[in-house]
Amino acid sequence: MRDFEYEAPTSLADAVGLLAKSKGTARPLAGGTDLIDHVRTGRLVADLIVDLKKIPELMVLELNNAGLRLGAAVPCYKIYEHPGILEQYSAISDSSNIIGGMQVQNRASVGGNLANAGAAADSTPALIALNARVIIAGPSGTREVAVDQFCTGPGQNVLEPGEIIVELQFPPRPAHSGSHYRRFIPRNEMDIAVVGVGASVVLDASGENFVSARIGLGAVAAKPFYAQEASELLAGQPVNDETIQKAAAAARAVVHPITDMRGTQEFRTHVTGVLTERVIKKAVERARG
Amino acid sequence: MAKKRIVTATINGREEEFLCQPRQTLLEILRNTLNLTGAKEGCSNGNCGACSVIIDGRAVNSCMILGVEAEGANIETIEGLAPGDGLDPLQQAFLENAALQCGICTPGYIMSAKAFLDENPNPTEEEIRFSMAGNLCRCTGYDKIVRAIQQAAETRAEQSASCAKETV
């Protein structure tokens, strides 16, 4: 690997300072499962790598009445092994459990998955469904961005030079809510999503009507995105096949997939509808408890 | 060149100090500096798991971790697995089930399986296959590896049962 410097600051201020003041290209490091590969292959250049795992704010994992706080460098296994997250924020548990294999899940973070802004990132549709906010720190202070506004294109995001994701904050889950993330891949595991769908639903007390829903789609456009119309179509409607099929059709209508070796445009569009239906149904099942 | 750092880590139960450039992966340090050549370099991008070692109880790909990140870590490699006078149940089971041919993937498999069985001592076949997805073997066709891990799980259960009896 090409030569670089390494620092492991223990405070957020020091990390931001190191990243902002670096004369060359400074790269933040969490689990390293993308970064180290990219630096090795020369796809990314690094003159300085700033390890973020010793900063308490980036390792926070806190679930209470105010919602969920997920530090940007928390590895996937800590997410899917957390019983409260599995119960209340199931979609992000689902994602964390299928990003790479066990060895990758023991290192890779959801914050890193988001920051890399891959179109097929497995955690981002779940974050969109669960309406996460991205807390960003940088040389000019701290700011917040809604997660569906974070990615701007393939491998591109809203972070300015010197800025890092500190944590993801999720609003508290209402009663009668459920969520799910699922992807289509031609293998059983260890593959990149051909289509990925995250959905969160809130039902009324009877469990027979949608109060609201959020659907996030991945791998079917230049970036993961919020399927607004499909989500809004469900609000106030009865839970039945017809309603869910309408939402799935609305999701199919807004995708812009590419054709590549993993799937054609036509296939990805079709699978978006199939998965959207299945994911909503699973989220409903979980909401009913 | 970035200055070399002194890193201290516990490796197979012994505290070790090594000199390391930031750009060196843990795998390079294990193999080239510490002469622990059990962990293998396969794909170098996190797909094959041949470099798997256990850090603080979790299986990881040592090719995707910098040596400098290992400061203070507790690292277990295949070299530290066998007790003084015999083989670990996983090693024995891989041998008895012929769960290897060329052997390149074997140290990684065994370390991943150890971390997995430590957490899930009585897994189903499906759980074994799902958890071992980060390890690739191009020789065996996987069935023998799965059977070996199943057998090792049984042996480990018998051993811990007889241990429990002895202490009673």
Q: Determine the structural domain holding residue A25 and report its residue range.
A: 5-51
Per-residue pLDDT reduced to its tens digit, B125-135: 999 999 999 99
The model's confidence at residue B9, banded by pLDDT at 50, 70 and 90, is: very high
Beta carbon pairs, A and B, within 8 Å: 92
Identify which of A189, A201, A185 has the alpha carbon closest to the alpha carbon of residue A247: A201
Angstrom distance (rounded) from CA A101 to CA A82: 18
Can you give the pLDDT at residue A268?
98
Q: How crowded is residue A106: how many other Cβ atoms within 10 Å of its Cβ? A: 24
Same domain (yes/no): B75, B113: no
Residues B120, B158: Cα–Cα separation, whole Å: 15
Quick check: A3 and B21 CB within 8 A?
yes
Contact between chains at A103 and B112 (C-beta distance less than 8 A): yes
- Choosing from B80, B108, B127, the residue where a domain stops is B80
In this structure, the answer to whether residues A17 and A82 fall within a common structural domain is no
For residues B55 and B9, membership in a common domain is answered with: yes
Task: Identify the CA nearest to A99 among candidates A129, A132, A75, A115.
Answer: A75
pLDDT for B168 equals 62
Residue A223, domain CATH: 3.30.390.50
What's this model's pTM, rounded to 2 decimal places? 0.96
Point out which residues pair with A201 in neighbouring strands: A178, A213
* CA A88 from centre of chain: 16
Of the candidates B80, B107, B142, which is a domain's last residue?
B80
Q: Which of A33, A51, A77 sits opposite B64 (nearest CB)?
A: A33
Count structural domains, chain A.
Answer: 3
Q: Give the type of residue at A163.
A: E
Question: What is the residue-averaged pLDDT of chain B?
Answer: 96
Q: What local confidence, expressed as pLDDT, does residue B165 receive?
A: 79
Tell me the C-alpha distance between A190 and A180, whole Å.
19
Give the residue from B23, B47, B110, B127 with the most A CB atoms within 10 Å of its CB, the best one to mutate: B23
Q: Are residues B9 and B74 in the same domain?
A: yes
Residue A46 sits in the same domain as residue A71:
no
Contact A102 B133 (CB under 8 A): yes
User: What's the pLDDT score for residue B162?
Assistant: 87
**Which strand (E) or helix (H) includes residue A229?**
helix A228-234
Question: For residue range B99-110, what is the model confidence (pLDDT) as tens digits?
Answer: 999 999 999 999
B146–chain A nearest CA distance, Å: 16
- B110 shares a domain with B76: no
Say yes or no: B49 contacts chain A, CB-CB below 8 A. Answer: yes
- Could you report the per-residue pLDDT of A115-149, keeping only the tens digit for each? 999 999 999 999 999 999 999 999 999 999 999 99
How far does the CA of residue A47 sit from the closest CA of chain B (Å)? 10
**Residue A187 in 3-state DSSP?**
coil
The CATH number of whichever domain residue B76 belongs to comes to: 3.10.20.30
Give the domain extent around B125.
89-167
Q: In which residue are the tokens 């239906």 written?
A: A277
Judgement on whether residues B74 and B97 belong to the same structural domain of the protein: no
- Output the domain CATH number for residue B150: 1.10.150.120
Query: What is the number of domains present in chain B?
Result: 2
β-bridge pairing A141-146 and A177-184: unpaired
pLDDT in tens, chain A (289 residues): 999 999 999 999 999 999 999 888 999 999 999 999 999 999 999 999 999 999 999 999 999 999 999 999 999 999 999 999 999 999 999 999 999 999 999 999 999 999 999 999 999 999 999 999 999 999 999 999 999 999 999 999 999 999 999 999 999 999 999 999 999 999 888 899 999 999 999 999 999 999 999 999 999 999 999 999 999 999 999 999 999 999 999 999 999 999 999 999 999 999 999 999 999 999 999 999 9
Q: Do A85 and A160 fall into the same domain?
A: yes
Q: Which of B80, B99, B130 is the last residue of a domain?
A: B80
Residues B24 and B64 in one domain: yes
A150 and A117, same domain (yes or no): yes
Residues A72/A112, Cβ–Cβ less than 8 Å? yes
Which uninterrupted H or E stretch holds A153? Answer: strand A151-153
Choose, out of A5, A49, A76, A102, the residue to mutate when testing the contact with B (most B CBs < 10 Å): A102
Asked if residue A177 belongs to a domain, the reply is no
Pair A27, A47 in one domain: yes
Q: Report in angstroms the alpha-carbon separations of A242 from A18, A204, A245, A284.
A: 54, 18, 5, 14
Q: What does the block give as tokens for A242?
A: 């017809």
How far A37 CA sits from the closest chain B CA (Å)?
6
Same domain, A244 and A196: yes
- Residues B92-97: contacts with CB under 8 Å, at least 24 apart: B92/B152, B92/B155, B93/B148, B93/B149, B93/B151, B93/B152, B93/B155, B94/B145, B94/B148, B94/B152, B96/B148, B96/B151, B97/B144, B97/B145, B97/B147, B97/B148, B97/B151
pLDDT at position B121 is 97
- Do B51 and B104 belong to one domain? no
- The residue of chain A with its CA nearest to that of B116 is A102
Higher pLDDT, A56 or B1: A56
DSSP letters along A25-78, please?
-EEEESS-TTHHHHHHHTSS--SEEEE-TT-GGGG-EEEETTEEEEETT-BHHH
Place of tokens 């997939």: A257
User: Would you state the pLDDT for residue B85?
Assistant: 87
Judged against a pLDDT cut of 80, whether residue B166 lies above it is answered with no
